[in-house]
A and B are shown apart, each in its own frame.
Chain A
Amino acid sequence: MTNTPSEDQVSARLLAFIRERFLSGDPRGELEETTPLLEWGILNSLNTATLIGYLREEFGAVVALEKVDATTFRNVATITSMLCEAAAKPSG
């Protein structure tokens, strides 16, 4: 792939999506890369499903369900790492 986004770009897009969709725009700018998403109730069952759909559409990342756990989806940083690791692996 030639257009693989950098880790910073991935993280910024994830933050923007979560702010817009789940945090009413996050007017105070509270969301950070390390904010616990599951623990603080930002990702509930439905939001997680929405986020997985977004990852597929936006990053072409098909998230295996065994990856959807408290470790991988802990915060934006861990989701970013997962996406970037997957992109680094040769496809096929």
Chain B
Amino acid sequence: MSSLHQLMIESAARDPDALAVTGPDGEFRYGELDRQANALAGELAAHGVGHGDRVVIWTPKSAAAIVAMQAVLRLGAAYVPASAATPAGRLAAMARDCGAGAICAAAELFALIPDGLPAGAQRVNVTEFLGAGHGEPERVDHPVTPDDLAYILYTSGSTGTPKGVCISHGNARAFVDWAGAELAATPMDRFASHAPFTFDLSVLDLYAAFAARAAVCLIPADLAYAPSRLVEFLHQQRISVWYSVPSALMLMMRDGGLLDRLAPASLRAVLFAGEPCPIRYVRWLSGWTWARLLNLYGPTETNVCTYHEVCPADLERDRPVPIGKPCSGDKAWAARPDGGLARPGEEGELMVDGPTVMRGYWGQRPQVGPYATGDIVRVLTDGSYDYVGRNDRMVKVRGHRVELGEVEDVLNAHADIAQAVALTVGEGLETRLVAVVARSPGSDPGVLALKRHSAQRLPAYMIPDEIRFVAELPRTASGKVDHLTLANDVARTAPEEKAP
């Protein structure tokens, strides 16, 4: 195995003029990205970044972010991606948690770098540095082992604080190598990159493209949920491999006119992951395009560990397509509540073991042995798996993992709130995050005040879509919040979706 960054280095050596990235900041060829990555790596090294360090990258979705990732990897360090939408408070918490040695920020975010970074953390203005031009910088390619960390992705944690999922070069390569082979990617391919770089879906787009000397076409964050513009992007960019959460595809079908136009001739694979895709949308997709349709599954902690290719028989189902069988060299099985192995027809918690399973959460004990996903699956007769649901309070909102406890913790920290309960209503694209709030005696916080409070502490997708006030939360006999009654109350009184 070689390193994750070796993929771009090799592609740049073989064909420096091949198009590597199109983004809001321009088009970049492999040779140019390679030079810029070497230059920035030299600059970071001068700031003291070296093997084993962590570097936070705070940029909008851009080629500059990719250069920064490559530069960090070439030093044998690990990058920690943040997006332009990451609140400064969360950024500082991430940087402190992983003890970041440096923060690379785009020009427009550089002035917003918060206080409270780890002592000695260096600040680098990536935009300014890359704009300066650096001739022919020295090659940087620090040797790494498969166990060295490549990146850390911060996810919503069950304890209420974000957890840093540590992915090594070996973890990432096991997945990327599988994906490249499964897709038979070539230099002719053009990958769409829909997911933010903070989200593990983006790993396939970037590195499967770099491995194949293909181009990756970045979708800026403000386009990511603009239905007709996404459809336009798919056609104009002649995308051959599309990968996104189902929500984006559903929006394109429902509001973007995707199905009203012929599928682009370039399109040969549509991949989706992150949440179940309602079957009727899969039927529409399959009637629209000859492209392969692939459902990928895997928590951030395991990368993609199972997949299923949609086949005609699936279209007769009345539930989402299966999450399929293990891939990326992983083993997966379903454990029954009594610990036994679930057999066909039975349900159990999906367990995953193999090369893609993370090294652990930053600052916690290393992950040893199989990872318990917390996802309940049903074993099908052919040995593949059907997704049934979560066994805890982690939910998906438009493809993003949201630990309800973390949302509640933030709301409960507000002085005017006695207790808040977060839950979701609706399914798929219609999923809405609702907070039900009991006020502190004598206080009267407004919806806006609480939204603002949340926005300062949580990423945008974790801010409740709706905040409801109640005099008292329903409770069970034991005095615990009665989640079932609350969920029924909220669902029953959900505002009807009207056409605007």
Contact = CB atoms under 8 A, between A and B. Distances in A.
Interface in A38-62: 39-42, 44-50, 52-54, 57-58
Contacts, number: 75
B346 interface: no
A44 B466 CA distance: 12
B460 A41 contact: yes
Given A41-B452, A41-B455, A24 B447 contact: yes
Nearest to A48: B225
Given A40-B455, A49-B255, A58 B500 contact: yes
* A contact residues, range: 20 to 34
A41 B463 contact: yes
Contacts of B226: 48-49, 52, 65, 68
B380 interface: no
A42 B448 contact: yes
Contacts of A49: 225-227, 251, 255
A69 interface: yes
Interface in B215-231: 222-227, 229
A65 B223 contact: yes
B316 interface: no
B477 interface: no
Contacts of B225: 45-46, 48-49
B454 interface: yes
A10 interface: no
B26 to A, nearest CB: 15
A30 interface: yes
A41 B468 contact: no
Contacts of B448: 23, 26, 28, 30-31, 35, 40, 42
A44 B461 CA distance: 7
Contacts of B223: 65
A3 B224 CA distance: 34
A28 B455 contact: no
Given A40-B451, A42-B448, A65-B222, A57 B500 contact: yes
Nearest to B248: A45
Contacts of B451: 23, 40-42
Contacts of A52: 226
Interface in B131-171: none
B449 interface: yes
B310 interface: no
Contacts of A46: 225, 398, 429, 465
Interface string A8-50: 0000000001000111101110110001000111101111111
* B contact residues, range: 20 to 34
Contacts of B446: 26-28, 30
Interface in B441-490: 444, 446-449, 451-452, 454-455, 458, 460-461, 463, 465-468
B500 A50 contact: yes
Contacts of B224: 45
Given A49-B255, A53-B500, A44 B463 contact: yes
Contacts of A17: 500
A52 to B, nearest CB: 7
Nearest to A73: B222
A28 B448 CA distance: 9
Contact of B468 (A24, A35, A48, A54): A24
Nearest to B226: A65
A31 B468 CA distance: 16
A31 B226 CA distance: 25
Contacts of B222: 65, 68-69
A58 B500 CA distance: 8
B399 to A, nearest CB: 10
Nearest to B256: A49
A39 B457 CA distance: 11
Q: Looking at B446, B449, B495, B500, which has the most chain A CB atoms within 10 Å of its CB?
A: B500
Contacts of A44: 460-461, 463, 465
B449 A30 contact: yes
B447 A26 contact: yes
Contacts of B452: 40-41
Interface in B61-83: none
Nearest to B24: A66
A53 B460 contact: no
B140 to A, nearest CB: 35
Nearest to A29: B446
A54 B447 contact: no
Given A45-B225, A46-B225, A48-B225, A39 B455 contact: yes
A35 B448 CA distance: 9
Nearest to B225: A45
Contacts of B447: 23-24, 26-28, 30
Report the 10 A-B pairs with minimum CB-CB distance, sorted nearest first.
A41-B455, A41-B463, A45-B225, A30-B448, A54-B500, A28-B446, A40-B452, A30-B446, A65-B229, A41-B451
Interface of A: 17, 21-24, 26-28, 30-31, 35, 39-42, 44-50, 52-54, 57-58, 65, 68-69
